[in-house]
């Protein structure tokens, strides 16, 4: 306590109560130093983060590797269908115009970027570490490098998809590249956010966080199959050329797309079922050659929402006491 006029009375009161006498501080810097130590003691020490610990040992499985292959196949399948079913107008063997489903191209680009993200989610494991397995910095290195590489690879693949479409149909149109990059941009932005925030994740949360970053592979595959079936129905290509029932094929494809949309936008089982009960019959009823583009764009937006939600979750886990993340938690 500081020495002042009340010090004598305080000492007498402590003596009457049988308590030890206080230490008298006569220098101002002693008072300031004690206050600083008391204030500092109220802040709990931060625990280990992903930047200062080893990543939990994760063994690669066939299912993990299959996820990347399934997403890549879905993207390539949609791209090939977009090119091969394009309505190409020619005059004297010269291409003068092309009509193709831009929504299919955009979704193919978004799925390609998602495939890169799926590979990034697998990369931060001890089995793939380029550094020593006992190096605690390898976790930060792998998380940051893998997600930054995924963002760059996703944009590069989407750019190739847009340029490749123009080459495939023999017609250069800037909108092919523009829509492909637009669809992949949210995926890449989310990857950059995760790369920056993930090294600050608490070490205790890594085991739960890694599975949370796994893309919804099978809903994406179902959505790609649904879009493929609807396009096949209206272009009379495989498998509709075998069944001869374009209306049924289109309705089935739209129903699959509706179910995939519900499974992608939320993780809550009850909400998924409720949304499916609305979207599955609704999509099957409203699908036409004029509306399928909007339904496809809706799923591309749902996929972008999933990636942004994953990035937001990472930021919340990495900085739970930040005012912005507290606001995101309430939202």
Residue of higher predicted confidence among 310 and 205: 310
238/311 same-domain check: yes
Say yes or no: 96 and 169 in one domain. Answer: yes
In a domain, 142, yes or no: yes
Domain count, the chain: 2
**pLDDT at 324 exceeding the cut of 90:** no
Find out whether 34 and 58 touch, Cβ atoms under 8 Å. no
| Contact status, residue 304 vs residue 110, Cβ threshold 8 Å | yes
Compute the average pLDDT of residues 232-244: 86
Residue 270 lies in a domain: yes
Task: Supply the pLDDT for residue 65.
Answer: 78
| Domain assignment of residue 2, yes or no | no
List pLDDT tens digits, range 19-30: 566 666 555 555
Look at residue 103 and tell me if it is in a domain: yes
Question: Nearest to residue 162, comparing CAs of 228, 107, 240, 242?
Answer: 107
Whether residues 222 and 158 share a domain: the answer is yes
Domain co-membership, 16 together with 154:
no
- From the list 114, 121, 117, 132, the residue with the least C-alpha distance to 60 is 121
Query: pTM of the entire structure?
Result: 0.80
pLDDT value of position 22? 64
Q: Are residues 133 and 78 in the same domain?
A: yes
Predicted pLDDT at 182: 97
Per residue in 79-128, pLDDT (tens digit) is 999 999 999 888 888 888 899 999 999 999 999 999 999 988 776 654 44
Which pLDDT band holds residue 179 (cuts at 50, 70, 90)? very high
Residue 311 lies in a domain: yes
Domain annotation covers residue 245: yes
Task: Decide if 1 is inside a domain.
Answer: no
Q: Is the domain of 24 the same as that of 65? A: no
**Lowest-pLDDT choice from 157-166, 206-215, 254-263:** 206-215
Q: Are residues 15 and 56 in the same domain?
A: no
> Percent of the chain, pLDDT > 70?
73
Residue 263 has pLDDT above 90, yes or no: yes
Give the lowest-confidence range in 133-142, 224-233, 302-311.
133-142
Cα separation values, 203 from 229, 260, 318, Å: 44, 33, 10
Same domain, 308 and 186: yes
Mark whether 142 and 215 lie in a shared domain: yes
Domain that holds residue 89: 50-330
Same domain, yes or no, for 151 and 197? yes
Residues 145 and 17 in one domain: no
User: Does 177 lie in the same domain as 144?
Assistant: yes
């Amino acid at each position: 306590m500081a020495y002042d006029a009340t010090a004598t009375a305080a000492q007498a009161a402590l003596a009457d109560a049988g308590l030890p006498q206080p230490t008298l501080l006569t220098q101002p810097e002693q008072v300031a130093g004690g206050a600083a130590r008391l204030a500092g003691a109220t802040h709990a020490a931060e625990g280990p983060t992903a930047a200062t610990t080893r990543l939990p040992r994760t063994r690669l499985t066939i299912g993990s590797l299959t996820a990347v292959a399934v997403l890549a196949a879905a993207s390539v399948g949609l791209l090939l269908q977009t090119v091969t079913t394009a309505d190409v107008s020619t005059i004297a063997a010269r291409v003068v115009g092309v009509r193709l489903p831009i929504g299919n191209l955009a979704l193919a680009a978004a799925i390609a970027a998602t495939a890169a993200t799926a590979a990034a989610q697998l990369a931060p494991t001890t089995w793939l570490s380029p550094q020593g397995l006992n190096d605690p910095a390898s976790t930060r290195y792998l998380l940051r490098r893998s997600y930054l590489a995924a963002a760059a690879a996703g944009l590069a693949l989407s750019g190739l998809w847009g340029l490749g479409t123009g080459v495939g149909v023999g017609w250069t149109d800037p909108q092919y590249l523009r829509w492909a990059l637009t669809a992949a941009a949210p995926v890449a932005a989310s990857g950059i956010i995760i790369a920056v925030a993930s090294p600050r994740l608490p070490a205790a949360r890594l085991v739960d966080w890694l599975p949370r970053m796994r893309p919804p592979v099978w809903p994406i595959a179902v959505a790609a199959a649904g879009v493929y079936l609807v396009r096949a129905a209206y272009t009379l290509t495989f498998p509709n050329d075998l069944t001869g029932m374009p209306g049924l094929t289109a309705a089935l494809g739209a129903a699959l797309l509706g179910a995939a949309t519900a499974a992608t936008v939320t993780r809550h089982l009850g909400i998924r079922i409720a949304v499916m009960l609305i979207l599955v019959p609704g999509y099957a009823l409203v699908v036409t050659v004029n509306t399928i583009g909007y339904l496809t764009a809706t799923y591309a937006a749902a996929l972008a929402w999933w990636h942004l939600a994953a990035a937001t979750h990472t930021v919340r886990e990495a900085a739970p006491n930040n005012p912005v993340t507290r606001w995101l938690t309430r939202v």
